[in-house]
Structure 1
Amino acid sequence: MMNLIFLFQDTIPAAVVDSTAAAPAAAVESVNYFSLLLKGGVMVVPILLLLFFTLYVIIERALYYGKVTKQNDALINEVRYQLTSGKIEAAQISASKDGTATGNILESGISLIGRPLSEIEGMMEKQTNVEIGMMEKKLGWLGLVAGIAPILGFIGTISGVIKIFYTISVTENISIGSISGGLYEKMISSGLGLIVGVVAYSGYHYFNMVIDGFSLRIQRVIIQFVNIITVGK
C-alpha cells in the first residue's frame, strides 16, 4: 500500500510538469501572424502599399509580355509565302493581325517594300525600339520599390529602437521583456521591407531577361525578313 502511494506521488508531479511544458508550446504555435504584422509600427502601412503596388505591376507586365512577346513561328513563313507570291498587302494584313510586337515590326518593314533596303531596316529598327520601350514601361517602378522598401523597413526599426531607449531613459527601468518585446515588434518592419524589396528586385530583373530574349529573337526575324525581300528582288 505504501509503495502505491509513493508511486502516485512520483507520477503526479511529472504530469504537472508535462502539462506546464506543453502550454507554452501551444501558445507559440497559435501565433496570429496578421496581428503580429500590425505590431510593426507606422512604417508597415507604406510598405504594405508598396507590396500591393509591386504585385499589380508584376501581374500587369506578365500579362502584357505574354501577349506581345508570344512567338509565332508560322508568321514569318506565311509572310515569306505571300511576299514570294507578290501579295504584299496580304502579307501586311497578316502581320498586323498577329497582335504581337513581332507582327508590328514585320508590318513596318512590309509597308516600305519597294524603298531602299537601308530605309526598310531603319524603319524596322525604330519600330523595335518602340516595342522595347513599351515593354520597359513601368519597370522603373519595380526598381524604385526594390530600393525604397528595405529603407522604409530600416527606418521603422530605428525609430522603434529610439522609442525603446527613450522609454528606458525616462522610466529608468531596464528589463529583458520590455527590450526584446519592443525589438521584435520593430524588426517586423525591416523583415517586411526586405521581403517587398526582394519581390520587386526579382520581378525587375526577370522582366529584363524577358526583354533581352525578345531582342535576340527579333534580330533573327529581321534578318530572315531582309533575306526574303532581297531574294525576291
Structure 2
Amino acid sequence: MTFSFSVILMQVSADLQSEGAFSQLVRYFNEGGLFMWPVLICVILGLAIFLERLVTLNRADINTRQFILDVKEALDNGGIPAAQELCASTRGPVASVFNAGLLRADEGFEAAEKAIISYGSIEMSFLERGLVWLSLFIALAPMIGFTGTVIGMVEAFDAIESAGDISPSIVAGGIKTALLTTLAGLIGAIILQVGYNYCVSKIDKLVVEMEESSIVLIDSISAMEKGKPLSGGESSEA
C-alpha cells in the first residue's frame, strides 16, 4: 500500500507538471468518485472556520503593554470611570477583562479579582469558539478518504473478478482511483491542521496576556485603595 501510494503521488506530480494544474485537479477530483465530495465539504467548512478565527484573533490582539500604561494613567487622572471608558473603547479580551474588574473595583480588589477570573474564563471560551468543529473536520477528512479508498479497492477487485484476468491496466486504474480519496483527505487534513495550530498558538498568547494583565490590574486596584500613584513610576522607567 505504501509503494502504491508513492507511485500515485509521483504520477500526480508528473501530471500536474504536464497539464494545467486546475484542470488536472478537477480530473482527479472526478476520478476519485463520490467520496471526494464529503472530503471537499470538510475542507471548505474547516477553512471557513479558520478564516473566521483568523480575523477574530487578529482583531483581538493589541499592544497590551501600552494599554496597561494607558489604563494606569487613566486611573491616576480620572479614576475608575476614565479607565472604564478607555476599556470600553478598546477591542480585545484584555480590555474586556479589565472592564469587568473595574466594574467591581468599588467593592474592593477581592471582588474585582473574582470578576476578572470569571470573565476571563468567558473570554477564553469566546476565543476557542469553533475550534472543536475545526478539529472534527481535521479528523473526518482523512477518515472519509480512507473509507473511499477501501470501497474503491473493493470495487477494483470486483472489476478484476468480473474480467477474469489480472490486467495491469485494471489493477493500476482501480488502485489509483481508490487512493485518490485518501490523498485528498490527507492533503485537506494537513492544511486544516496548520490553521488549527496557528489558532491555538494565537489563543495561548492572548490567554497569557490576559493573565499577566489581570495581575497588574489587581495590583493597581490595591494600590489605589492605599492612595499610591500608578503611572508615575512605570512611565519613567519606560
State the TM-score, normalizing by the size of structure 2: 0.82
Identify unmatched segments of 5+ residues in structure 1.
Answer: 1-24
The letter for the 2-side match of 1:77 is: L
Provide the identity percentage.
22
Q: Which residue, out of 91, 107, 111, partners 1:115?
A: 107
Within 2, Cα distance between the matches of 1:71 and 1:27? 45
Q: Find the structure with the greater CA-based Rg.
A: 1
Q: Which residue, out of 195, 200, 214, partners 2:192?
A: 200
Q: Residues 184-206 of structure 1: CA distance to partner in whole angstroms, max 9, x if unpaired?
A: 12211000001111222222232
Structure 1 equivalent of residue 73 of structure 2:
81
Q: Residues 51-73 of structure 1: CA distance to partner in whole angstroms, max 9, x if unpaired?
A: 11111111100000011233343
Aligned-partner SS, 1:99: coil
Aligned-partner SS, 1:87: helix
Displacement of 1:174: 1.6
Structure 2 equivalent of residue 45 of structure 1:
37
Q: Which residue, out of 51, 56, 62, partners 1:59?
A: 51
The letter for the 2-side match of 1:221 is: S
Q: Residues 116-161 of structure 1: CA distance to partner in whole angstroms, max 9, x if unpaired?
A: 3221101011111111100111000111111111110011111111
CA contact 2:64–2:209 (8 Å) conserved in 1:
no
Within 1, Cα distance between the matches of 2:147 and 2:185? 10
The range that moved more, 29-38 or 39-48, is 29-38
Structure 2 equivalent of residue 15 of structure 1:
none
Correspondence 1:220 to 2:212: yes
Aligned-partner SS, 2:106: coil
The equivalences for 1:65-214 within 5 A come to 65-214=57-206
Structure 1 equivalent of residue 235 of structure 2:
none
Q: Which residue, out of 30, 45, 51, partners 2:19?
A: 30
Within 2, Cα distance between the matches of 1:26 and 1:218? 50
Structure 2 equivalent of residue 22 of structure 1:
none
Call closer, same or farther: CA 1:162–1:90 in 2, change over 3 Å: same
Identify unmatched segments of 5+ residues in structure 2.
Answer: 1-13, 226-238
The letter for the 2-side match of 1:120 is: A
CA RMSD of aligned residues (A): 1.9
CA contact 2:60–2:91 (8 Å) conserved in 1:
yes
The range that moved more, 195-204 or 48-57, is 195-204
The range that moved more, 139-148 or 71-80, is 71-80
Q: Residues 5-24 of structure 1: CA distance to partner in whole angstroms, max 9, x if unpaired?
A: xxxxxxxxxxxxxxxxxxxx
State the TM-score, normalizing by the size of structure 1: 0.84
Call closer, same or farther: CA 1:148–1:26 in 2, change over 3 Å: closer
Call closer, same or farther: CA 1:197–1:126 in 2, change over 3 Å: same
Number of equivalent positions:
209
